[in-house]
Copies of this chain bind each other. A is one copy, B any other.
Amino acid sequence: MNAEIITIGTEILIGQIIDTNSAWIGEQLNSIGIQVNRITSISDKKDHIISSLDKAFQDNDIIIMTGGLGPTNDDITKKVLTEYFNTELVLNEECLTNVKEIFQRFNREVSEVNLLQSHVPKACIPIINKAGTAPGMWFEKEGKILVSTAGVPFEMKWLMTNEILPRLKEKFELPHILHHTTLTTGEGESTIAERLIDFEVNLPMHFDIAYLPSPGRVRIRLSGQSTSFKQLELEMSELISSLELLLEDLIYGYGKEDLSEVIGGLLMSNNQTVSVAESCTGGAISISFVANSGSSDYYKGGVVSYWEEVKSNVLNVSPDIIKQFGVVSEEVAIAMAKGVKSTLNSSCSISTTGIAGPDGGTLDNPVGKVCVATVVGKETVSNTYYFGGSRSKVIERAKYAALNQLRLQLLSIRK
């Protein structure tokens, strides 16, 4: 079963707002086994709406249309749909009651324009919108479905969740779709793809693989489709096991997990705490811990020692070490990690020192060079990394490398 999502509104086309509705609707449709073939964004112009409807009905079974149902003059979706289905607007008593109830709740008089929202095309099944004044409209045409909803995200979500998705499940016999995302860090997209050449070749026809790279990590998504959910689950779990064997060292989590959250779990299961000393990453590692609700259970705090004197005064890094090895060195990183661990009295620590660029690089210390030290109890690990990209990319990549270094160390000690 194929679907198209059509969003209406000039604000999307000029980049004033980012269309988050479509991603949400796509995820929801997909989860009940409806495949989204196309997302189209157009302006509030009659001929654009009509030509998009023609094309959508031609290619797809289900059309979800959002936007252009407000009470003001620039909202023309309902008028255009009435014309498209060659019908007329009629007052719907149930919709009128709903609008009146909503205004009553806020102790306000129903305005003239809002009363007009209770008029719906005669050819549609109106869907009462408990989250707003614009009803949803369900049209059927030669076995195909078009549903129009308001574009305001919480109204659209209410209608989709409570009315439209249940009705679609009832109307169509849908296949099962399963997605699984594996999160990796430590290698780029192409290196991972090379490791998975055989895996890809042997992937069952009803499965797909996709690589989703972002600075510092690559997400790998497996998608399968079948009429038997049990079979699908079984196949998926076998594929994940193969993937784990092939990429074991790179996998840090699954789904929407964050690397810092994974580390939080490891620390907590062992009653450990962490502190962070950052130079070039400037607080990025600390905020990635703090972003997780409940992180105070394992994250004690951090020091951003951007100036050399802060490294010496707060983290007790000896000026001699800095002089001897240079500020971007594993020796200094180790001294920073030990210093913050002792000052903040934590059981583990992470440190970074490097050149984020774009300026400040030298032959010995090129832009992108980052030294990372991690301490777990009495064991210290240090590494030097070379990252590419802009200042923000170097910081992001260094953050993932530093976090992953601690993760691997925590795991290796456990074994």
A residues with a Cβ closer than 8 A to B are 10-20, 22-28, 30, 35-43, 48, 51-52, 55, 59, 70-74, 102, 105-107, 111, 113-114, 152, 154, 179, 181, 189-191, 193-194, 200, 208-213, 221, 223, 276, 278, 280-287, 289-291, 293-296, 299-307, 309-310, 313-314, 343-345, 356-359, 386, 388-393, 395
Interface contact A299-B306, CB-CB below 8 Å: yes
Contact A72 B291 (CB under 8 A): no
Let me know if B300 and A310 touch, CB within 8 A: yes
30 inter-chain pairs at a CB distance below 8 angstroms, sorted by A residue, are A13-B37, A14-B27, A14-B36, A16-B181, A18-B18, A37-B42, A38-B40, A74-B209, A106-B386, A111-B194, A276-B304, A278-B283, A281-B290, A282-B283, A283-B286, A283-B290, A290-B306, A293-B356, A293-B359, A293-B391, A294-B359, A295-B306, A296-B307, A301-B307, A303-B303, A303-B304, A303-B314, A304-B304, A307-B344, A314-B343
Q: Give Cα A63–Cα B73 distance, bound, in whole angstroms.
A: 30
Most chain B beta carbons < 10 A, residue from A52, A179, A286: A286
Q: B300 and A302: CB pair below 8 A?
A: no
Instruction: Tell me which of B37, B307, B314 contacts A48 (CB under 8 A).
Output: B37
- Contact of A12 (CB < 8 Å), options: B39, B213, B357: B39
In whole angstroms, what is the CA distance A201 to B23 when docked? 36
A208's partner among B74, B302, B304 (CB-CB below 8 A) is B74
Contact B179 A14 (CB under 8 A): yes
Q: Which residue of B lies closest to A291 (CB)?
A: B392
Distance (whole angstroms) from the CB of A151 to the closest CB of chain B: 10
Q: Please indicate the chain B residues that have their CB under 8 angstroms from the CB of A11 in the complex.
A: 210, 212, 221
Oligomer: number of copies: 2
Give the contacting residue for A395; candidates B70, B190, B278, B290; CB below 8 A. B290
Set of chain B residues within 8 Å of A386, measured between Cβ atoms:
106-107
Take A14-B223, A190-B72, A190-B111 as given contacts and tell me if A306 and B300 are in contact as well, using a CB distance cutoff of 8 Å: yes
| Contact yes or no, A283 B293, CB < 8 A | no
Complex formed: what's the CA distance from A302 to B310 in Å? 9
Residues of B within 8 A of A302 (CB): 283, 303-304, 306
Find chain B residues with CB under 8 A from A22 CB.
12, 15, 19, 41
Q: Is the CB of B40 within 8 A of A210?
A: no
Check B284–A287 contact: CB distance below 8 A: yes
User: What chain B residues lie within 8 Å of A278 (beta carbons)?
Assistant: 283
Q: What residues of chain B lie closer than 8 Å to A280, measured between beta carbons?
A: 290
Given contacts A23-B12, A301-B303, contact A41 B43 (CB under 8 A): no
Q: List, in ascending order, chain B residues with CB within 8 A of A289's CB.
A: 282
Contacts A306-B299, A395-B291 given: A154-B212 contact, CB under 8 Å?
no
A208 adjacent to B10 (CB under 8 Å): yes
Q: Which B residues are in CB contact (< 8 Å) with A313?
A: 343-345
A393 and B132 CA atoms in complex are apart in Å by 13
Measured between beta carbons, the chain B residues less than 8 angstroms from A211 are: 70, 72, 74
In Å, the complex CA distance between A38 and B299 comes to 47
Contacts of A189 in B (CB 8 A): 70-72
